[in-house]
Amino acid sequence: MNKMLARVRNTAIFASGISLLALSSAMATEITVWSWDPNFNGATMKEAAARYAVTHPDVTVNLVDFAKADLEQKLQAQLASGTTDGLPDIVLVEDYGAQKYLLSFPGAFEPLNGKIDYSGFAPYKVQLATVDDKTYSLPFDSGVTGLFYRTDILAEAGFTAADLQDITWDQFIDIAEVVKEKTGHPMLGIDLNDAGAVRVLLQSAGKWYFTPDGQPDIAGSATFKAALETYAKLLQAKEIYKPVSGWTEYTGGFTSGEVASVFTGVWMTATIKAADMSGKWGVAPLPKLAGVEGATHASNLGGSSWYVLSSSAEKDQAVDLLAEVWGKDVDFYQKILVDQGAVGSLLAAREGEAYKATDAYFGGQAVWQSFSDWLAQIPPVNYGIFTNEADAAVAAQLPTLANGGSVDDAIAAIDAQVRAQIQ
Amino acid sequence: MSRLAANLRAALVYGLLSLAAFLSIFPFFWMLVGTTNTAADIIKGKVSFGGALSQNISNLFAQVDMLQVFWNSAFLAVVGTILTLAVSSLAGYAFEMFQSKTRERLFSVLLLILSIPFAAIMVPLFVMMAKLKLINTFTAILLPIIASVFIIFYFRQATKAFPRELRDAAKIDGLKEWQIFIYIYLPVMRSTYAAAIIIVFLANWNNYLWPLIVLQTNENKTLTLVISSLASSYYPDYGVVMVATVLATLPTVIVFFLLQRRFVEGLTGSIK
């Protein structure tokens, strides 16, 4: 009898436990987010989640981090399988790959027009995530470029900050030669397997490997020719750069104090500041391509954006998180700028305190203000589906160009390789 | 004169061997040195031991739930190895011992399967696992590996050297086939098993692509996935990466040294 009672009691407790569980799971929402650097983009999403939780205490964010290449492979495999099991609610995608995913997997991502005010974001970031007038991303970190340089080494060679304003690449090479001669420091570290610099030059003049409708824009493009010629000139001035191989040696070049400058995305700031050379660095605008129509001092390298998966069960909540925090919280952008060095794409963010602050590491320069000025000026281009293929074709020609090879031959070879690959 | 030549030759041989030994050991040494240095020192190429070991260890444990991750990898490797050996060694034994008309044809098909790269079957396999509702489970990782064509092949080759007289004698003594397998075959083939354990354990411990695709949460991640993620951030802390790498290397080193003698025997096909 007692046993019987106990069983009834246990069943009752068990049943009420289940109903409690069901109740709490109906109220609590968990948004799963995939990103690739827990100290950078992962940390910014954590901050966003904390802010969102203030007004939405029932929403938690579950961050899963993978290596970037791993995340891309995983996403690709799962989207290709056509099963939506295990896909996250929000995923971070590198900007160069955005069009590839959007065009290869139509319907997989959620358009956010009407929910996000895109006029408040850097135009180039919006355009790269737009297909057929629908925009799919919440634009996140920008790879707005600048020329980071060692003020002490350049001063030793007789140059001031003013000498680096509004210069062309030819002038940059002249300066680099003087720096090398007077101080012995190479101006750059260059990896001949990496075509990132050519991408930077191309976009600074508003062009890409492809036309907006996806056709190769290589042979016959005056801008491509100018970009490759300029870079070849740099590569052939062998005394001004240190040849490096791989990322570690590349960053090691300037963090060790040997290399005097680096032109790259703003995300490099954290690496430069970790090198313990406070007061010795400055930031100048990117040099400009000479004699090219539409050439600017603003360009981009890398960067990424958040995308909501259409298959997500928590889609509305995920979109709301992006819209509420990422879409308008200027204070949030100050926080991630200070804590993670992340320069977002929300243009209004630059009115905040952190963006206006000066940085002693950069000799009291208001570097974030400069970067956000350039951010608004980056020419929009269409990255297309085959940026990686074109990149490989360009990289294959760099060693030949460094040894004095003909630019026209290189262009013909790149054009042929790209056309063969994208058929 | 000839003595001088012999000495010279010996010097040359030892010189080359030392160089080869240095080349093999240096990466390991570099990894150990790396665990004690800060990321900045490692990038500068510092080759001497530093004082950042405890800092690197505590950073790693602060960033990653190492106990959980280590357990995940160990569970998959150990259970995977036991299951693979149980299934594949039986198959190898059967392929060699039992005659049938279709045996060789079937075996050729199996060998053909060896030539299909995993990437080619990855997406269909994922669809299968999704239909079975096994995404993000260890079962999804174990199922495709336990019937390992390579291990079946390996056991069949090794079984060729197994004296059939032993089996015949056991049969006359009244043993059933499963008894022969367990009481006669297993003890005789222990070197083969040892070598297979090392091969399968290493493969499972280092398994990367399939766990990457199937596992979805931080709690289920394996060591290889965690290291890959640590090493590829924008500003990787190489000291932390090195500590994680050492932790990942230890079990394979231990397994190898425990079974080293038998491993060599197994590869050279000795049966006592």
Tens digit of pLDDT for each residue in B6-26? 999 999 999 999 999 999 999
Distance from CA of A343 to the nearest CA of B (A): 14
CB within 8 Å: A86 and B130:
yes
Rounded mean pLDDT of A114-130?
94
Interface test with B, best of A32, A81, A245, A304 (most B CBs within 10 A): A81
pLDDT greater than 50 at residue A19: no
* Residue located via tokens 């015949």: B168
Question: Could you tell me which residues of chain A have a Cβ less than 8 Å from any Cβ in chain B?
Answer: 36-40, 62-70, 73-74, 77-78, 80-83, 85-86, 88, 248, 251-252, 255-256, 267, 270-271, 274-276
The C-alpha angle with vertex B92 and arms to B88 and B95, in degrees rounded to 5, equals: 135
Mean pLDDT calculated for residue range A330-334: 95
Of residues B117 and A18, more confidently modeled = B117
In 3D, which of B188, B208, B200 has the Cα closest to residue B88? B200
* Within-domain flag for B114: yes
Structural domains of chain A, ranges and CATH numbers in brackets? 2-143+302-360 (3.40.190.10), 144-300+363-422 (3.40.190.10)
Q: What percent of chain A has a predicted confidence (pLDDT) above 90?
A: 79
For chain A, give the mean pLDDT: 90
Confidence grade of residue A85 (pLDDT, cut at 50, 70, 90): confident
pLDDT of the residue at A204: 96
**pLDDT higher than 70, residue B256:** yes
Q: Give per-residue pLDDT as tens, B91-145.
A: 999 999 998 899 999 999 999 998 999 888 999 999 999 999 999 999 999 999 9
- Asked whether residue B43 is assigned to any structural domain, the reply reads no
Query: Residues B192, A27: contact at Cβ < 8 Å?
Result: no
The per-residue pLDDT for A15 is 45
Please name the member of A62, A252, A270 whose beta carbon is closest to the beta carbon of B235: A270
Q: How confident is the model at residue B270 (pLDDT cuts 50, 70, 90)?
A: low
pLDDT in tens, B209-234: 999 999 988 899 999 999 988 887 77
pLDDT at position B5 over 60: yes
Question: A37 and B234 in contact by Cβ < 8 A?
Answer: yes
Q: Which domain holds residue B205?
A: 64-268
Q: Is residue B262 part of a domain?
A: yes
- Tokens of residue A148, six digits: 């980071």
Residue A21's pLDDT is what?
44
* SS3 at position B209: helix
Query: What is the rounded radius of gyration, in angstroms, for the C-alpha atoms of chain B?
Result: 24
Q: Has residue A353 got a pLDDT over 70?
A: yes
Is the residue at B7 inside a domain? no
pLDDT of B272 over the 80 cut: no
More confident residue, B2 or A172: A172
Q: What is the reported pLDDT for A107?
A: 93
In a mutational test of the A interface, the residue from B210, B235, B240 whose CB has the highest number of chain A CBs within 10 Å is: B235
b/e burial code for range A392-401 (CB count within 10 A of at least 16 → b): bbbbebbebb
Quote the pLDDT of residue B269: 57
Are B229 and A255 in contact (CB < 8 Å)?
no
Note whether A62 contacts B217, CB cutoff 8 Å.
yes
In a domain, B91, yes or no: yes
Half-sphere exposure (CA, 13 Å, Cβ side) for A366? 12
Would the CB atoms of A85 and B213 count as touching at under 8 Å?
no
Cα angle A64, A93, B225 (rounded to 5 degrees) comes to 40
Interface test with B, best of A70, A104, A343 (most B CBs within 10 A): A70
- What is the count of structural domains for chain B? 1
Q: How confident is the model at residue A16 (pLDDT cuts 50, 70, 90)?
A: very low
**CATH code of the domain in which B185 resides:** 1.10.3720.10
Closest CA to A319 of A331, A307, A334: A307
How many Å from the N-terminal Cα to the C-terminal Cα in chain B? 46
B235 inside domain = yes
Q: What pLDDT was estimated at residue A28?
A: 81
d(CA B214, CA B138): 9
Position B1 scores a pLDDT of 60
> What residue of A is the nearest CA neighbor of B136?
A86
Q: What are the pLDDT digits (tens) for A251-274?
A: 889 988 999 999 999 989 988 988
Instruction: Tell me if B21 is assigned to some domain.
Output: no
d(CA B212, CA B207): 9
Average pLDDT of the segment spanning B29-58: 88
